């Protein structure tokens, strides 16, 4: 499997986890073993959107060693912008960010803090401007980490004549560009549907497909599209848009949870390039 640019390796014990990952923050990890020559062999890669050390502890006994690092904190940039714009973040410990659009997240946080709807709406342009500024500063020099298999899969799909690559993401378009651009991925996608297009994620596949049809001047039926994501909301938005769905258990949700959400297919990660190309182009 591809190597990972993470800190470690460390022995996968509670003590070593507490030393290597001291805070319950989002991050990415690789799990595996070390051979007699001291080489770390990756068996599983993934990420935690909430609690990196907690996710690592869940694998104790299944693997012997790990590497890990925290994400550049887009969530911290979001929270700072909320405080500057509205004077509060709302209750970020109770509102999940997973699979939601940025506007939905902001509204849930601020509504829960008792801020009136009109005040929320009036402040959104200023919120996004501040958020993008803080996000850009955090990503400078510390780009988003790309999970194993992503570049290889995108390369392989781009080489298939009748495959078109687009985005469906809850990020506002500027946030998606900054995050993916920091990892060299933004230019891979010609079109997309973004949280800035609609607050409800279920509307985004149709928006992305409409742009794809205009861009490639092709019919592109929804059933020929595949939404790839790591949360049940990704699966749900694919169903709402009439597409097929591929759940990838590299985030905070297990393969079982993605299957229960109704994903057409579920994989542990994106490292099996040939198998995934065959699945996605079937």
Q: What confidence tens digit (pLDDT) does each residue in 217-255 have?
A: 999 999 999 999 999 999 999 999 999 999 999 988 999
Q: Which two tokens stand for residue 271?
A: 């490292």
Instruction: Please indicate, yes or no, whether the overall pTM of this predicted structure exceeds 0.85.
Output: no
Indicate if the pLDDT at residue 48 is higher than 50: yes
Q: What is the pLDDT of residues 267-277, one digit of tens each?
A: 999 999 999 99
Q: How confident is the model at residue 5 (pLDDT cuts 50, 70, 90)?
A: low
Q: How far is residue 56's CA from residue 63's CA, in Å, rounded to a whole number?
A: 10
Task: Average the pLDDT over 170-198 and give the result.
Answer: 96
Alpha-carbon distance of 186 to 167, in angstroms, equals 10
CB 13 within 8 A of CB 19: no
pLDDT at 94 over 60: yes
Quote the tokens at residue 104.
């939905």
Higher local confidence (pLDDT), 25 or 81: 81
Question: In 142-174, which positions are buried (b, 16+ CB within 10 angstroms) versus exposed (e)?
Answer: ebbbbbbbbbbbbebbeeeeeebebbbbbbbbb
- Residue 72's pLDDT band, with cuts at 50, 70 and 90, is low
């Amino acid at each position: 499997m591809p190597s990972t640019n993470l800190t470690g390796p460390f022995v996968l014990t509670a003590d070593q986890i507490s030393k290597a990952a001291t805070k319950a923050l989002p991050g990415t990890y690789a799990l595996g073993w070390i051979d007699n020559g001291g080489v770390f062999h990756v068996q599983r890669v993934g990420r935690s959107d909430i609690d990196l050390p907690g996710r690592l502890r869940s694998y104790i006994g299944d693997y012997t060693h790990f590497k890990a690092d925290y994400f550049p904190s887009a969530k911290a940039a979001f929270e700072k912008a909320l405080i500057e714009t509205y004077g509060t973040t709302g209750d970020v410990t109770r509102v999940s960010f997973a699979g939601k659009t940025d506007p939905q997240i902001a509204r849930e946080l601020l509504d829960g803090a008792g801020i009136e709807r009109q005040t929320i709406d009036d402040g959104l342009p200023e919120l996004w401007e501040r958020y993008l500024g803080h996000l850009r500063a955090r990503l400078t020099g510390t780009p988003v980490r790309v999970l194993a298999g992503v570049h290889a899969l995108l390369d392989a799909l781009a080489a298939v004549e009748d495959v078109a690559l687009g985005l469906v993401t809850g990020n506002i378009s500027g946030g998606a560009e900054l995050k993916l651009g920091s990892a060299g991925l933004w230019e891979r996608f010609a079109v997309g549907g973004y949280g800035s297009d609609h607050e409800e994620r279920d509307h985004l596949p149709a928006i992305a497909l409409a742009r794809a049809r205009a861009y490639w001047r092709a019919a592109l039926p929804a059933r020929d599209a595949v939404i790839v994501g790591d949360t049940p909301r990704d699966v749900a938005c694919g169903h709402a848009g009439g597409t097929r769905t591929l759940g990838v258990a590299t985030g905070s949700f297990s393969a079982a949870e993605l299957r229960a959400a109704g994903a057409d297919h579920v994989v542990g990660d994106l490292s099996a390039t040939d198998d995934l190309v065959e699945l996605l182009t079937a």
